[in-house]
Amino acid sequence: MDRNQFIKQCGFACLGVIGVSAIAQSCSPSRQLNVSIDDNKLIVPLSAFENKKKLADQSYRPYIIVRNEQLNYPLVVYRNNENDYTALLLRCSHQYNELNVNGELLTCPAHGSEFDTKGNVVNGPASEKLRSFSITKDNQHLYIQLA
């Protein structure tokens, strides 16, 4: 293979990797966003759950991850249905490590505890549920009561 062929093949390979990466990001079921706090409530726009990449029919992300600089840990907010959401602090109840969100399973990279979408322990060593928050809703926002 000569130099020009090598450069051409490497260029196509790089474009392929970039293209696959872009497609994977656009298909991601989750979204992370920074949200504001007002009157001790996190304010989450309902539009954050809309999956605008799918134009054929309206679809929704099953969950989003929200952050605010005043919070030591992010929250995951699951959309159970149009009127039912669950907000959980992504802090392991074992030794307070930040949890990873793997779809419907929340996993702790420290010692392997796992939790479901309601914050219940699926696998230890954690033995307590995750902290959850009450949520109110209007036509445009969720209001997650922090205390």
Positions that interact with ligand FES (CB under 6 A): 92, 94-95, 97, 108, 110-113, 125-126
Min separation Cβ 105 and ligand FES, Å: 13
> 131 to each of 35, 37, 66, 93, 128, how far by Cα in Å?
19, 18, 15, 8, 9
State in angstroms the smallest separation of the CB of 126 from ligand FES: 5
Judged by beta carbon, residue 44 or residue 90, the one nearer ligand FES is 90
User: Which residue's CB is nearer to ligand FES, number 26 or number 102?
Assistant: 102
As measured in angstroms, the least distance from the Cβ of 94 to ligand FES is: 3
Least distance (Å) from ligand FES to the CB of residue 109? 8
C-beta closer to ligand FES: residue 37 or 121: 121
Nearer to ligand FES, 86 or 113 (CB): 113
Q: Which is nearer to ligand FES, 8 or 111 (CB)?
A: 111
Using DSSP, state whether 5 is helix, strand or coil.
helix
Instruction: List, in order, residues 6 or more apart from 99 with CB less than 8 Å away.
Output: 90, 91, 92, 106, 107, 108, 115, 130
Please report, as a single letter, which amino acid is at residue 38. D
CA distances (Å), origin 94, targets 55, 77, 113, 128, 147: 42, 21, 8, 8, 21
Q: How far is the CB of 74 from ligand FES (least distance, A)?
A: 15
